[in-house]
Structure 1
């Protein structure tokens, strides 16, 4: 999977901000997929015909699904624009890309930003340090114009990496990350990209939305300033944000076959487009794994009988009184040699659930900053 463990973001000489889960693919998967990822990396993921779309004031930026590990879109920074692939991540709040001053191997496999080539770049001396579960990014903040689709945020704060350590950073397809969480978890005295869109009157509604497709090439979009109902079925069900830092909500319970298997008295969950799996506290996750008769291998990994998958029950997350089932076809994956694994991950270091792409591929999600709520509806296939 692509983001495991707690992510801590430290601005040197500033306060410590702790961010849950994830933005780096594990070393095991990084190595397993490295040849394919390197091949894909050599070509731009979009054709000239596959550019942003605009409908009724909604800006849509297409994203490409890479192996169900992460969704990558394009932005540009500077004048003239320098283009980068980024993960649009609701689990963090800052933007960073590699810089030409980075000598790490990871920077050598990605596009790098050249401040000297941009007439609108403004430098600072404020350093930052991003520590991931399986990688680390160190650099300095700068300001420049950032374009997302047809929206241009003027003098946007972003990080320029100078050191990137870890195999996961080296082999990941995206160049950087664009965070879409609340400004409370952003670097001090900086404004996140989405807040800049709203503050600079670039969008008509203070919200954005995600449609994550299972198609590995196209179909996935992040949209800013409005909602296109053609991407979902039925009506949006609104859930209040329980804490304005991550996109955090209260889960009533988690059940299988009508029996509560986790979260019996309610719990908290984070909607995180930067996390590939569903992750929960260790005890609760193991209880679910036992309910599906998962077995432990000698390496500590859980496996499931591939033949049993059609008969496994849904995992049902009940949120604000509404049931959101996740079928076995979504919470399991088949790898080489016919081995099947659960798309569930546990962590002793978290107390909240993280509903990543396994959940979000099933449900179109609207992140409404104007009303501090999340809207969910079944995504169209």
Structure 2
């Protein structure tokens, strides 16, 4: 989610001193959360004319589960690398669809009056996103450490939703916090300050959109059985807002090119596709400049729908092609089965929308990120990336040293992705499925 900063600065007096907490149920120096996959239908859109870009409606959302307060109250929030503040309790009645409203009501609420450790900061602020917004009241409370019955991250500042619009869940913003975009510690900052992690680095493997296992985020660590090959190191670029070096810090990476590999193995690369790209788990679709959007439309023979999305036959999900994103020497090949989503029973669309503006910039959302394993290192301002695979679990602690992630190699063979995300609709075209299997094993 692309966050609009408030025009004023928030100044907080944090309660208590940073604590060095012992770990219980997790490996020392890291803390991991399962990434939950929550599906909702794109039907019954709440618009006056019922015409809206379906790509803006999250049919698949990636969330983490937090336990906040004393006693702990269970809430779920969207995992969002595109923003940097944590808040809970959305206004469910304003969700974009009835299905999302149902999911919202079932995702848990934080009731401040029910927590003995709640502190009201007395500050209210509006946060705007690419879609929707939230008016929040800032609070301080404890967050229970996963795997522990008693240990908690103390005195964490976060927001409680007062009034939100078009948001089905609260937001777990894990972008740059104190000293970059905020005047208080966000969740990433507190994990490091209170001794849970050895660095302000974390890794994410979202998991395939058809995977039943979900994904994982590891604060302070990496899972070497969630990717293949080596991790490639990139600079976290400074703010890239309309060509300016000012603005909020986010996870910008230099993208070298975009292209496609067709089901019959014909490869092509698009001209003028070198540009900065934002890695944003809070964005369902990816946003690319109009000329790349048009090229993908041509290569997929897609139909531009009234709602702005690119419709393709659902049978294409089972075909063995890829959309290819290159960064330096690394190419992340996103299978059709991950780049195409089924939004309605008979409606499938590419996971892309055009990005408007005078400068070539890309936003790489979930339609790209579920095929990548990414380490976000705020301590050293680096990003590390490899192709996502899932062949088990082997969590390793990351130190704060520069390039520490380069010492870790993925343990998965490239072909093992087949078993992690077999498309549910391959039965539409069984013969195509066979070709898809062989292509992934190459």
Q: How does 1:61-210 map to 2 (within 5 A)?
A: 61-67=33-39, 69-98=60-89, 109=105, 111-149=108-146, 152-166=152-166, 169=167, 172=168, 174=169, 176-183=170-177, 188-210=182-204
Higher gyration radius (CA): 2
Native 8 Å contact 2:178 2:189 kept in 1: no
Native 8 Å contact 1:262 1:288 kept in 2: no
TM-score scaled by length of structure 1: 0.77
Distance 1:292 1:66, change over 3 A: same
In the alignment, what sits opposite 1:282? Answer: 290
State the Cα distance separating 1:105 from its structure 2 match: 5.9
Pick aligned residue for 2:300 from 275, 292, 298? 292
SS at match of 2:225: helix
SS at match of 2:295: helix
Native 8 Å contact 2:325 2:332 kept in 1: yes
Farther-moved stretch of structure 1 (180-189 vs 217-226): 180-189
Native 8 Å contact 1:153 1:193 kept in 2: no
Native 8 Å contact 2:289 2:355 kept in 1: yes
Quote the Cα distance in structure 1 between the aligned partners of 2:135 and 2:383. Answer: 32
Distance 1:292 1:229, change over 3 A: same
> What CA RMSD, in Å, does the superposition of the two structures yield over aligned residues?
3.0
Pick aligned residue for 1:229 from 208, 224, 249? 224
SS at match of 2:183: coil
Unmatched 5+ stretches in structure 2: 11-23, 40-58, 96-100, 240-248, 261-265, 390-419, 421-442
Unmatched 5+ stretches in structure 1: 16-51
Distance 1:197 1:304, change over 3 A: same
Report Cα offsets for 1:23-55 as digits up to 9, x if no partner. Answer: xxxxxxxxxxxxxxxxxxxxxxxxxxxxx9624
Pick aligned residue for 2:334 from 311, 323, 326? 326
Quote the Cα distance in structure 2 between the aligned partners of 1:216 and 1:200. Answer: 34
Quote the Cα distance in structure 2 between the aligned partners of 1:352 and 1:228. Answer: 30
In the alignment, what sits opposite 2:366? Answer: 357
Quote the Cα distance in structure 1 between the aligned partners of 2:269 and 2:199. Answer: 38
Quote the Cα distance in structure 2 between the aligned partners of 1:161 and 1:309. Answer: 38
Report Cα offsets for 1:71-122 as digits up to 9, x if no partner. Answer: 11211222222221112211110000128xx796669935332223222222
Native 8 Å contact 2:64 2:78 kept in 1: yes
Quote the Cα distance in structure 2 between the aligned partners of 1:248 and 1:53. Answer: 34
Matched positions, count: 331
Distance 1:334 1:260, change over 3 A: same
